[in-house]
Amino acid sequence: MFIDNKSCTAAAEILMKVPKKVIDQCLRLYHDNLYVIWPLLSYDDLHKLLDEEYNDHYVYWFLVALSAANLSDLQSELESEGGFSFTGKQLAVLCMSSRQQFDDLSGRDIFRIMTYYCLLRCFSQSSDVRNSYRLCREAIGLVIVAGLHREKAYESLSFREQQLLRKVYYLLLLTERYYSVYVHCVTSLDTTIAPPQPEFVTDPRLSLDSFFEMIRVFTVPGKCFFDALATESTSGSCTEDSLKKIWKELHTASLEIEP
């Protein structure tokens, strides 16, 4: 079980706000090591949020959850002034114990969605599949309620807003399809919106190439393929011929998703 007494005690000791310095260190770790794997926002954008919106509940808890996901993924911890160590587990427990502050049913959807995505990564790293999957469903529920599975929802948004929301959508789609095989649950999200656009960057740490490749791997087989695996169905999605077709497309197809 992810939440134990020791973790709760540690979380209670840091009920005061997580220092900006600690969060900033985590943001740098994310930029250097993890953005290429699960891209949300660049370090510059994250640092701006930290600098300007640290006192906004939704932004603050997203940044804490992002810090928790970083430390969990990297299996690391940070020491603050005063000698207190922050671990991903402690920060995740702190987020969950303060859930009413960032999920009050009336807040900023994108930050709530990203907070849940980061938290599910923390639980997954602790092999708590049950709670990780529950958090995945929370995030997907918010996506659907906000209508972000429909291309029309993006028409009035700026390019930057669209890029972020499309990244988040496809990160959740990949996660859900992974869980469909792992915990045998059918999927909700499909390729009903276009993926994010390629971005010209000079810093390889900001490249989306690996992310696009993951999108291709998880979308070429199609939603019906993962649902068939989840239900152990012998439908046409999992025949020898269909698997050969998927194999061929994975080795030849480019990422062209028509919503």
Q: Does the pLDDT at position 154 exceed 70?
A: yes
Q: Does some domain include residue 145?
A: yes
Prediction pTM value: 0.86
List pLDDT tens digits, range 185-218.
889 999 999 999 999 999 999 999 999 999 998 9
Q: Does some domain include residue 28?
A: yes
Task: Please give the pLDDT value at position 233.
Answer: 61
Task: Please give the pLDDT value at position 176.
Answer: 96
List pLDDT tens digits, range 61-120.
999 999 999 999 999 998 877 777 899 999 999 999 988 888 776 667 899 999 999 999
Least confident span in 174-178, 186-190, 243-247, 252-256:
243-247
Task: Please give the pLDDT value at position 126.
Answer: 82
Q: Does the pLDDT at position 13 exceed 70?
A: no
- Tally of structural domains, the chain: 1
Q: Does the pLDDT at position 241 exceed 60?
A: no
In sequence order, what are the beta bridge partners of 79? 85
Q: Does some domain include residue 259?
A: no
Task: Please give the pLDDT value at position 257.
Answer: 56
Q: Does some domain include residue 248?
A: yes
Q: Does some domain include residue 178?
A: yes
Q: Does some domain include residue 72?
A: yes
Q: Residues of the chain with pLDDT > 70: what percent?
A: 81
Mean pLDDT, the chain, whole residue set: 86
Task: Please give the pLDDT value at position 83.
Answer: 73
Q: Does some domain include residue 138?
A: yes
**3 or 131, which is more confident:** 131
Q: Residues of the chain with pLDDT > 90: what percent?
A: 64
Segments forming the whole domain that contains residue 218: 5-252
Q: Does some domain include residue 257?
A: no
